[in-house]
Amino acid sequence: MQQPHSRLLRSLPALVALMQLLPVQAGRAACPTLPVLNSSFETSFGSTTNVVPSWTVNLFGSGSAGVFNPGANAAVRNGRNVVYLSPKAGTSEIFQELTSTLLAPGPYELTAFIGRRTTLAFPASCTIELLAGGVVKASASCGPPAFDPGPFDSRKFTVDFTAAANDVDLGEPLQVAIRAGDPSPTATSQAIVDDVWLTNSPDGVTLYHEIYVPNRNFELATPLLGNGSTTANGVVDDWVTSRSGTSSLGIHNPTTTTFPTEAPEGQNVLYLRPQAGLSEVRSPPLVTPLMQGDYCLSVNVGQENAATDGFPDTCTIELRAGASLLTSVDCASSVPAKGTFSLFTLTYTATALSPGLGQPIELRVRATQAASALETAWPDDVRFLPEPSARTALLLGVVLLIGIARLAPRVS
Ligand SMILES: [Ca+2]
Ligand SMILES: [Ca+2]
Ligand SMILES: [Ca+2]
């Protein structure tokens, strides 16, 4: 008599193949990234001493720390600004307590980009820490490094942590600390920090990584934008733009008149003002080609606080690979309240049958307006990373079944 386990094992290859072909799912789940305020240090206009907005600067010894704007031609990881840590006879640290709390199992991944100045030594030590309620849960050394990316270019350092079900710090607020140390009282060493991310794992198993999108927060603008200033029509650094009709688009540094809380990230936002036509930005083809798996794209989009000027007919966020449109969301279907931003998220699962598999991924944000009006969409803070899906969980279940079937005793 045929055993249930052997029937299951025989049908597994067909089952796995079937699940690889399941239709693509698009949804509105949040991407697995936890908010770190002023994560790219773009809130400051120019350099600061011992002040980093949204962060606490902790100095032990006679060192310093602050925001640094190295100006044009510097290979800053993201935007215009970095943080410098200059320890002297002690340590210099930036610290932030997040609104998120420690949950089991997580897992969590904290990443930061650390660089060194070509003109200055690197401190004797450099540490990235993930804490919960003041207790260090995991840490990693970020130097002194064998690397020399300088002058402001940087490399990614990672801290991973998975909480046990009985971790005594569950429910405590998550905290991030990045610290450099130098015992010398005459030290002139410096560590450079940029682009801090904390991601978690909605399926409790897999960690998901940011996919790099150049100028994803529109902080790079040529020329540098003062409050209320705008780039020339059609100029968005690192993005390809197109317009039709009498449309305009560019990067803008909003004042409190346009948005009471100004930009949702850094100082600048994108603006798309289609007039009897289209305003569109396209990312350059991303380094990562489309592979089987799960993707999550989120963009903050705002409507200005103006009595007459509203939102365009359409404002579409698109995920593409090669010539194929994979999925999109129209922000005009849920227009943000005047003077505010709303987060729009789209998810996509690439299967063996997905169009554009192996082709370069491209992101687009485009707005259209039939009338020649001043309706405008204001996007900012593009975040793009893989995300798990129900299909992934089902496949994990199949793998588990295979394991159970193989472990089960044979009955002859
Ligand atoms: Ca930055
Ligand atoms: Ca921004
Ligand atoms: Ca502003």
Residue 224 lies in a domain: no
Q: Residues 371, 276: contact at Cβ < 8 Å?
A: yes
- 151 domain-assigned: yes
> Do residues 310 and 370 share a domain?
yes
250 & 372 share domain: yes
Helix, coil or strand: residue 17: helix
Amino acid letter at 242?
Answer: S
Given CA atoms 378, 294, 27, 206 in this order, what sign does their dihedral have? negative
For residues 161 and 38, membership in a common domain is answered with yes
Does 60 lie in the same domain as 193? yes
Domain that holds residue 11: 4-24+391-407
The span from the CA of 239 to the CA of 257, in Å, is 27
CA 308 / ligand 2 centre spacing (Å): 25
> Closest-lying ligand to the alpha carbon of 79?
1
| Tens place of pLDDT per residue across the chain (412 aa) | 444 444 544 544 444 344 443 333 334 457 888 999 999 999 988 899 999 999 999 999 999 999 998 876 677 889 999 999 999 999 999 999 999 999 999 999 999 999 988 888 999 999 999 999 999 999 999 987 666 666 777 889 999 999 999 999 999 999 999 999 999 999 999 999 999 999 998 778 877 788 889 999 999 998 889 999 999 999 999 999 999 999 999 999 999 999 999 999 999 999 999 999 999 999 988 888 999 988 999 999 999 998 888 999 999 999 999 999 999 999 999 999 999 999 999 999 999 999 999 999 999 999 999 998 899 999 999 999 876 543 444 444 444 444 444 444 333 3
Structural domains of the chain, count: 3
Sign, Cα dihedral of 223, 225, 229, 233: positive
The partner residues of 368 in beta bridges, in order of sequence, read 278, 314
Q: Give a yes or no: residue 363 inside a domain.
A: yes
Residues 182 and 287 placed together within one structural domain of the fold: no
Ligand 3 mean position, distance from CA 263 (Å)? 7
Quote the ligand 3 centre to 147 CA distance (angstroms).
36
List residues, by chain if needed, whose CB lies under 5 Å from ion ligand 1: 40-41, 78-79, 81, 194
Residue 47 alpha carbon to ligand 1 centre in Å: 12
| Distances from the Cα of 216 to the Cα of 141, 262, 294, 308, angstroms | 28, 17, 20, 29
pTM of the model: 0.84
Q: Is residue 215 part of a domain?
A: no
Evaluate the CA torsion angle 17, 19, 22, 25 in order and state its sign: negative
